[in-house]
Structure 1
Amino acid sequence: MLTLKKCILLVLFLLPFSVLSQQTTENQSAKAAYISDELFVYLHSGPSNKYRIVGTINAGESVTYIQQDNESDYVEIKYDGDKTAWLPKQYVTFTPGLASQLAQIKSDYANHADIVTDLQQQRDNLSSELRAVISERDVALEQLEQTKQTYSLLKQRLDATQASIWEKPMVLGSLILLIGLVFGLLLPIIMPKRRNKDRWM
């Protein structure tokens, strides 16, 4: 009787470790998989079509591969959260199906479309700024040309004014008078010295 109790206690003691070991093995063998591109596939409760049908799964749907039964070539999968079922191995693939690829392509296209829209907006903004800079440059060049013309006109007027000043008789007479005045003021200062020297001689 004691031996039976010991056996029962030993079994109860080892049972959690066995379950934990089985879960660990399942987690290690579990990997992402996809349903191949059929319309839908029947799911069975066991590794054969003799087991009852528990549902269907659509083509391209993402599932988790758990294990394979080599005798029947059925694969156990996990789907819809924690549900498990069996289906023929031929319907399971480890590469995304056309439906998944199409969804990924659509997502990538949407992202690229957003990027293209942003780039077009940046291009339009840069084009607008470039047009504004070109307009400012044209205005500056026009102002520079006007400034050059004004400078040339003023220079011509100044040259003409200087030439006309020297051509006027009144100006020439005033200049001769000024020279004569200066010479007349300097001459008496120089001449008396010579006269005084002549007298003593």
Structure 2
Amino acid sequence: MFRLFRSSVSRIFFLPLLVMSLSWPLLAQQSVEEKPAFISDALFVYLHSGPGNQYRIIGTINAGQQITFLTEDNDYAQIRYDGDKTGWLPKEYISFTPGLVTQLDTLNQRVNSQQLQLQQLEEERNNLNSQLNSAIAERESALEQLAQANRAYEQLKGQLQATQTSIWQNPMVIGSAILLIGLIFGLVLPSLWPKRRDSERWM
């Protein structure tokens, strides 16, 4: 009876440990999440079909190439590259920060983008300078036309004053003016005298 009890207890006790030991590799493998990574700045890296050198070589991968880290087994890691291809390579060739090649490409892209923006700014500056020069030329032309108009006005004003002065200095004009004044008095004064005489008679 005691032996039966001890065997049943031992089975109950070791059964969870057995299950945990069998499921531990699966749990450890599932705990590794996929994450982006990069190939270190080596010349090239051989890819194997499994986690070790004993597996056949299925290709190479370029330095600095962006990959997806899938899982690891001892000193090897499984990666995904070029869309849906997978392979194994030593973990030492994997970096989770961009390598010098990738950083250089990123810097070149930034430089090209900044050069394009600088070129666009230069074109805008040239356009603005052209518009400013056109506005300055139009302003100078308007000022010149205004100055010409002022000079023409002064000339006409001087000519008019000279004409008026020359008219009154002309003896014929003076004599005509005196004659006209005398004629006016000659026509107006006689018409006033009879009225005064008639008014004196009535008184």
TM-score, with length taken from structure 1: 0.75
Between stretches 135-144 and 29-38, larger displacement belongs to 135-144
Q: 1:183 to 1:87 in 2, by over 3 A?
A: same
Q: Which residue of 2 aligns with 1:193?
A: 195
Deviations 1:51-76 (A, max 9, x none): 4443332210111110123xx23211
% identity of equivalent residues: 54
In the TM superposition, what is the alpha-carbon distance from 1:125 to its structure 2 partner?
A: 2.5
Between stretches 160-169 and 170-179, larger displacement belongs to 170-179
Structure 1's unaligned 5+ residue stretches are: 1-21
Q: Describe how 1:17-96 pairs up with structure 2 within 5 A.
A: 29-69=33-73, 72-96=74-98
User: Partner letter of residue 39 of structure 1?
Assistant: L
Residue 134, structure 1, aligned to residue 139, structure 2: no
Q: Describe how 1:113-192 pairs up with structure 2 within 5 A.
A: 113-192=115-194
Q: Secondary structure at the match of 1:29?
A: coil
Q: Secondary structure at the match of 1:155?
A: helix
Between stretches 153-162 and 124-133, larger displacement belongs to 124-133
In the TM superposition, what is the alpha-carbon distance from 1:198 to its structure 2 partner?
A: 4.2
Q: Which residue of 1 aligns with 2:110?
A: 108
In the TM superposition, what is the alpha-carbon distance from 1:161 to its structure 2 partner?
A: 0.9
Alignment partners' CA distance in 2, 1:80 and 1:166: 107
Structure 2's unaligned 5+ residue stretches are: 1-26
TM-score, with length taken from structure 2: 0.74
User: Partner letter of residue 142 of structure 2?
Assistant: A
Q: Secondary structure at the match of 2:52?
A: coil
Q: Secondary structure at the match of 2:60?
A: strand
Between stretches 45-54 and 125-134, larger displacement belongs to 45-54
Deviations 1:110-152 (A, max 9, x none): 2222222222222222222322222222222222211111111
Alignment partners' CA distance in 1, 2:196 and 2:81: 137
In the TM superposition, what is the alpha-carbon distance from 1:38 to its structure 2 partner?
A: 1.5
Deviations 1:143-189 (A, max 9, x none): 22111111111111111111111122222222222222222222122
In the TM superposition, what is the alpha-carbon distance from 1:45 to its structure 2 partner?
A: 2.9
User: Partner letter of residue 120 of structure 1?
Assistant: E
Q: Which residue of 2 aligns with 1:6?
A: none
Q: CA RMSD in A?
A: 2.5
Alignment partners' CA distance in 2, 1:136 and 1:185: 63
Q: 1:196 to 1:58 in 2, by over 3 A?
A: closer
How many residues align? The count is 175
User: Partner letter of residue 50 of structure 2?
Assistant: G
In the TM superposition, what is the alpha-carbon distance from 1:34 to its structure 2 partner?
A: 0.6
User: Partner letter of residue 40 of structure 1?
Assistant: F
